Structure 1
């Protein structure tokens, strides 16, 4: 049942657990059908007295705050979350001092908690995660980072306790609607935690497991699948989590809902169907006007759709929209815009009326800090843009294609031979210009290595593996000549390892990828590469070992 066409809502005169879950479910469907204001209006009257109304209301405001990064939205979200925690706390089981101490020695028995108290634990845990998220982005210091981490740890422990309670409750009141709703909440929480933690590199995961976290991917997926099929309030959230992970079979949320349109477009993009993706992203923009942040997600993807096809004028249009409308990362948006303009011919650049050098010079002043740390991609953009800070700027070589690689775009372009061939032509043109440069700058070796690495990627995706290998080895042989872009060596080792994996030489592949992992540090986007390395080595562990 869907509520996207409902204009008038029944307002309950008093609120019990079942009614609150039903109204929260109605609000969730309104959100998924782009009716955000209506959802808030439905939840607001009871958000001081009902844990589910409070949780739904704070969830919408928290989501808005994380999308806008506006200080007023973050403050409003944080204030609402604090009120929601207080509301949930009123429904949680109150322990005496003796009971609190004894609870450390044994878990609660199923019959010691009322239905409202069980649900209050789940709602409280979910709200703690919201507060942790806003804590990370509200203050730019390590203390806030630690506070957020403690809230996540507390939330996870509550979920584990609820899972223990759920296991003890099997066959005891398990047929009630309240119990099924509680079970759905546990599966969403435990499943999401296990799935997301399993994506972390092994060394980080081992540390987190030492302090009590669990990152079992298959268990997480199975919990989310069970939750998705439970017909509970949170079943749709389980489905969306699975969609976020690997585009799992979707529940029908409304054929023109912006979230489903976005996922449909993203799937088309990942398959290399850029034309279909563009249509879907544009449709996603047109179906609702309330949340501009969803538009910004689409603009980002549309910018890349056009960049993959080297339609630089169209890509520039969306980069410019992001610069003017979105506050997520001005430094990245301005750098991306300048990089795209750098790919245009002189005539197109002149008609845009933009000052490319001026844009690059803006980037450093736009850098921000989140949770007390700089954003790695922003740091990379700032470092690259410094070539324009001198009185005589040194132009970047194919900067938009370099950023395409940073955002893993070559994997997507590689699905299309025509687009890959077109990129190769552009890269070879840059290669020739560098070769014929009469006055090479101090950046010349770095630029040559960048061009060779990107050329190797194109050749690899086109199946010309021997030529690709030569490009990669040329980069590695130039390691001592590189002065600034030291990231090129570990990234090239990683790409060469993937090439050997493609050839079936798993031992050699592992050796090169391990080399990148163990022997290089303190380079740009190091953590990003370690995530890729973690995934590659995990897949190699499941591969047959070839004979020497």
Structure 2
């Protein structure tokens, strides 16, 4: 068996395999997904690169479909790819002993990086698919094993022992992707994010501080992205995810294939972050038109289009995309149905609802769509389900501005910071909601949600004022803190937002006090992980800025 496999691979040299896989990746980037898989499939049993890229494409599909069968199939395929890679690895107890002994051939070095990548991708599928702790730990072991291989390879590539082969840029690109990915993973490890804490404590205890890891990880990914290699696409995608989702900071990474659906999506996301909503809408729509084979690309665009029309306060269009997602996507039906109901609740009472739907009935359906990922319900689903529960009673208590509240949870007010007219529109909606709230409670018996709803409106008004550099509304929460009964996230988030505003105003000492208070004084509230991550990022930035000042003073 080994002889047949090796001879079969020998009939196609490493360079030929790489060239063939590059062409398959090019087909994928031009939205020709079926052709890409057809190009790879005949060689998946005897070429490590064909096996890895084929499995990677299937895993990307599984991540987007969220179908159990697709996830299982991708996992089986990735395991088979790992077995193919194993056949080409040098037989030894560890990579260190391999590197310390006789020289590895170019194929053996490539086998090491491919094997590490298979481990990492299998771990991702394990976290996505399995809900028990044993499987979770097994996934963590795969992550650690992958990291150690990448780490040893990275050290080897910097040593004098390393002699560049004809395909060295492919090998170096693979290592850059792995090292860059792991350094960014470590950055997203505030103590309240359980998975990242596990990864962080398991692998990164001896690495430099977060800010150094961030910079180094980004430099490795930029290096991999700008080199013409098989992992360029993965490096670019990870960078785009980082810049357009994790930080809201735009990067300058070139888009390699402008008409590729997924890159059109990220281009739209970049415009959305800058506040260019109409341009973003056009790009997301182009992304949907670019291909029809994988509807899951469309779902990514639908989600952003829903928010774009929310920013523009075009509630029926926002509802339309939430409805499409609720019908087609499996990612979070509870969230999609909640957003449908939330959009409808923003329409005037006497205005006809699309398809004759009723927001109260939709809110009541939300808890029935609860799901679990890696054994836990997503925090945003928990939040939506908790908010929707007030509609279960026969005399339900209306949510004042559910769309804008969820928009805050997704950091949407930051999106429109550079567009004063959009911020003013949001303020108009909030003032109108406040008047309606005051009128209804001026003539009715008080209910248990009154203080919470009032504070929600105040927080969101505070976000509008914050966009204009003001802080009045954000300072009003201390007097209401003890009266809040359900929306326990409000006070720590108000402190966070006020701290961020003080950073912008140069009031760093006051900012640190507020951020530390938000971090240490409040626990087990809704969306805590999200808030703690933002606090962590702000404090890290402040420490970095302080270090820069101290260094310049010393100079």
Structure-2-length-normalised TM-score: 0.90
In the alignment, the residues of structure 2 paired with residue 229 and residue 285 of structure 1 have an alpha-carbon distance, to the nearest angstrom, of 27
- List per-residue Cα deviations over 1:337-368 (Å, max 9, x = no partner): 11111111124343541021111111111111
Q: For residue 179 of structure 2, what is the aligned residue in structure 1?
A: 190
Q: For residue 413 of structure 2, what is the aligned residue in structure 1?
A: 410
**Structure 1 position 81 matched with structure 2 position 78:** yes
Could you tell me whether the CA contact under 8 Å between 1:303 and 1:316 is conserved in 2? yes
Secondary structure, counterpart of 1:126 in structure 2? helix
Could you tell me whether the CA contact under 8 Å between 1:476 and 1:492 is conserved in 2? no
Q: Which moved more, 1:230-239 or 1:151-160?
A: 230-239
In the alignment, the residues of structure 1 paired with residue 206 and residue 546 of structure 2 have an alpha-carbon distance, to the nearest angstrom, of 33
Q: For residue 518 of structure 2, what is the aligned residue in structure 1?
A: 516
> Do the aligned partners of residues 110 and 22 (structure 1) sit closer, same or farther apart at CA in structure 2, a change above 3 Å counting?
farther
Could you tell me whether the CA contact under 8 Å between 1:128 and 1:155 is conserved in 2? yes
Q: For residue 445 of structure 1, what is the aligned residue in structure 2?
A: 451
Q: For residue 130 of structure 1, what is the aligned residue in structure 2?
A: 121
Secondary structure, counterpart of 2:252 in structure 1? coil
Q: Which of 363, 367, 377 is the equivalent residue of 2:380?
A: 377
TM-superposed CA distance for 1:196, in Å, is 2.9
Q: For residue 529 of structure 2, what is the aligned residue in structure 1?
A: 527
Q: How does 1:132-211 map to 2 (within 5 A)?
A: 132-169=123-160, 172-174=162-164, 176-201=165-190, 204=197, 207-208=201-202, 211=205
Could you tell me whether the CA contact under 8 Å between 2:499 and 2:514 is conserved in 1? yes
Q: For residue 293 of structure 2, what is the aligned residue in structure 1?
A: 290
- List per-residue Cα deviations over 1:217-255 (Å, max 9, x = no partner): 111122222223332222343233223322533445333
**Structure 1 position 48 matched with structure 2 position 45:** yes
- List per-residue Cα deviations over 1:508-532 (Å, max 9, x = no partner): 1110111000010000000100111
In the alignment, the residues of structure 2 paired with residue 163 and residue 329 of structure 1 have an alpha-carbon distance, to the nearest angstrom, of 38
Could you tell me whether the CA contact under 8 Å between 1:243 and 1:249 is conserved in 2? no
How many residues get paired? 524
In the alignment, the residues of structure 2 paired with residue 345 and residue 515 of structure 1 have an alpha-carbon distance, to the nearest angstrom, of 40
In the alignment, the residues of structure 1 paired with residue 450 and residue 232 of structure 2 have an alpha-carbon distance, to the nearest angstrom, of 55
Q: Which of 87, 91, 97 is the equivalent residue of 1:94?
A: 91
TM-superposed CA distance for 1:202, in Å, is 7.2
Q: For residue 8 of structure 1, what is the aligned residue in structure 2?
A: none
TM-superposed CA distance for 1:491, in Å, is 0.5
Q: For residue 9 of structure 1, what is the aligned residue in structure 2?
A: none
Secondary structure, counterpart of 2:257 in structure 1? coil
Q: Which moved more, 1:14-23 or 1:441-450?
A: 14-23
Q: Which of 471, 476, 479 is the equivalent residue of 2:478?
A: 476
> Do the aligned partners of residues 154 and 212 (structure 1) sit closer, same or farther apart at CA in structure 2, a change above 3 Å counting?
farther
Q: Which of 430, 434, 448 is the equivalent residue of 1:431?
A: 434
**Structure 1 position 392 matched with structure 2 position 395:** yes
**Structure 1 position 507 matched with structure 2 position 509:** yes
Secondary structure, counterpart of 1:265 in structure 2? helix
Q: For residue 5 of structure 2, what is the aligned residue in structure 1?
A: none
In the alignment, the residues of structure 2 paired with residue 391 and residue 160 of structure 1 have an alpha-carbon distance, to the nearest angstrom, of 60
- List per-residue Cα deviations over 1:55-110 (Å, max 9, x = no partner): 01100111111111111111211111111111111111113xxxx2xx58756237
> Do the aligned partners of residues 258 and 317 (structure 1) sit closer, same or farther apart at CA in structure 2, a change above 3 Å counting?
same
TM-superposed CA distance for 1:15, in Å, is 1.6
> Do the aligned partners of residues 212 and 29 (structure 1) sit closer, same or farther apart at CA in structure 2, a change above 3 Å counting?
farther
**Structure 1 position 323 matched with structure 2 position 326:** yes
In the alignment, the residues of structure 1 paired with residue 16 and residue 233 of structure 2 have an alpha-carbon distance, to the nearest angstrom, of 18
Q: Which moved more, 1:420-429 or 1:192-201?
A: 192-201
For structure 1, which runs of at least 5 residues remain unmatched after alignment? 1-11
In the alignment, the residues of structure 1 paired with residue 427 and residue 254 of structure 2 have an alpha-carbon distance, to the nearest angstrom, of 40
Q: Which moved more, 1:431-440 or 1:447-456?
A: 431-440
In the alignment, the residues of structure 2 paired with residue 84 and residue 264 of structure 1 have an alpha-carbon distance, to the nearest angstrom, of 32
Could you tell me whether the CA contact under 8 Å between 1:397 and 1:430 is conserved in 2? yes
Structure-1-length-normalised TM-score: 0.91
In the alignment, the residues of structure 1 paired with residue 420 and residue 159 of structure 2 have an alpha-carbon distance, to the nearest angstrom, of 56
Q: For residue 276 of structure 1, what is the aligned residue in structure 2?
A: 279
For structure 2, which runs of at least 5 residues remain unmatched after alignment? 1-8, 244-249, 550-555
Could you tell me whether the CA contact under 8 Å between 2:449 and 2:485 is conserved in 1? yes
In the alignment, the residues of structure 2 paired with residue 503 and residue 283 of structure 1 have an alpha-carbon distance, to the nearest angstrom, of 39
> Do the aligned partners of residues 110 and 56 (structure 1) sit closer, same or farther apart at CA in structure 2, a change above 3 Å counting?
farther
